[in-house]
Amino acid sequence: MSSNDQTPNNQFPAVPPPTKPAPAGRRVLPLSPGRQAALPLSSRSPAAWAAALVDLGDPRHALVEITASGLLRWWSPQPGRRTADGQAGSPDPLQLVWCRRAAPDVELVALAVGALVAPGPNSAGTGGEPGAPMCVAVAATRCGEYAVTVGNWREGTTTVAGRGAAVDAVLLYLGLSTAPEARTPADLVCSMWVDRLLAAGALHPGRVRTWADAVRHHPLGASAPTSMQLSAASRDLGRFGWDRIRLAVGAGRAEWSELSPSAARWMDRGAFARWLLDRYPDLDDQRLALRAVLPARLATTVGRTIEASLG
């Protein structure tokens, strides 16, 4: 399988023959004249490209690159490709950029996530037709400007704020730094603890009734059996920061959330932190939910330990 640069229109230079195979999991699709006309080929605006990709309404994931000479590259998952668990369907769209770097001549990158959100109850079309699926696209330039757009061709698009795995992945693909993360590893171990407590309380009601029961679910509980010791150990971990954990994962000396060593080495501090933290719901929401599965006094003690851990 080989990669071809696509020539959007006559104002762009001719494309030389491919000289190397396309990266695994990618193929370059020919663009129809209609699709070319719908793209902002003369623009280098991330917002314009993100909105245009959402407007296309294509259910497939895609990676778009614009080079300094004006060439357009359009990567899309291979047809019939199976997911990691062997199921038919589209692979994770982040795999189009995961652990990779864009070529030096790439000025703009856009990642389209097709049909990310199912149609809402009020998005049905005329005549009872099902509504258009909601799609998301992220676009960024070498200077670090980026945009995230959500919507569809029927209901319009909206540019949204915020950071996440897709934004981080696109910036890393361009070789750029991601935003700093204010939360620390102490937030991570607290989220892991509460998540485990909620799971234990839901699966085995009444089994977590004492502090000794609760502390066994904490990642640091084996070495810090009291509330004061546990909060102190968590604060110490927070002061160490993310680099110590990231370097250990990158060297294969530690495992966190099934993140591979190569992925940890590819990430910077902020992206690594968010990848681990954002796997869990908001910590404040988790703490409120504890009262539904733990005795009231124990839930209060756990909450106070978390507050001391993050203080």
| pLDDT at 10 (0 to 100) | 29
Write the CB contacts of 29 (distance below 8 Å, at least 6 apart in sequence).
62, 74, 75, 76
Q: What is the DSSP letter of 78?
A: P
Widest Cα–Cα separation across the chain: 73
| pLDDT at 224 (0 to 100) | 86
| pLDDT at 216 (0 to 100) | 95
| pLDDT at 82 (0 to 100) | 47
φ/ψ of residue 142, rounded to 5: -65, -25
Q: Which band of pLDDT confidence, cut at 50, 70 and 90, is reported for residue 284? A: very high
| pLDDT at 155 (0 to 100) | 64
How far apart are alpha carbons 59 and 152 in whole angstroms? 11
| pLDDT at 156 (0 to 100) | 60
Decide: helix, strand or coil at residue 32: coil
Cα distances (angstroms) measured from residue 178 to each of 24, 33, 171, 245, 269: 25, 36, 6, 18, 8
| pLDDT at 13 (0 to 100) | 30
Span 105-163, pLDDT tens digits: 999 999 988 655 444 444 444 333 455 667 889 999 999 999 998 886 566 667 666 67
Q: Region 222-240: what's the mean pLDDT?
A: 94
| pLDDT at 270 (0 to 100) | 96
Kindly report the pTM of this predicted structure: 0.79
Q: What is the DSSP string of 157-180?
A: EEEE----HHHHHHHHHTTPPPPP
Span 36-76, pLDDT tens digits: 557 888 889 999 999 888 887 776 788 999 999 988 888 87
Q: Region 284-289: what's the mean pLDDT?
A: 92
φ/ψ of residue 65, rounded to 5: -125, 140
pLDDT at 226 over 90: yes
| pLDDT at 123 (0 to 100) | 41
- Across 77-95, b (16+ Cβ under 10 Å) vs e yields beeeeeeeeeeeebbebbb
Q: Which band of pLDDT confidence, cut at 50, 70 and 90, is reported for residue 286? A: very high
| pLDDT at 209 (0 to 100) | 94
Strand-pair category, 27-28 with 106-117: unpaired
Span 178-207, pLDDT tens digits: 999 999 999 999 999 999 999 999 898 989
| pLDDT at 37 (0 to 100) | 53
What is the rounded average pLDDT for all residues in the chain? 80
Span 164-179, pLDDT tens digits: 899 999 999 999 999 9
In percent, how much of the chain has pLDDT > 70?
Answer: 73
| pLDDT at 159 (0 to 100) | 65
Q: Which band of pLDDT confidence, cut at 50, 70 and 90, is reported for residue 91? A: low
Quick count: other Cβ atoms within 10 Å of Cβ 260? 14
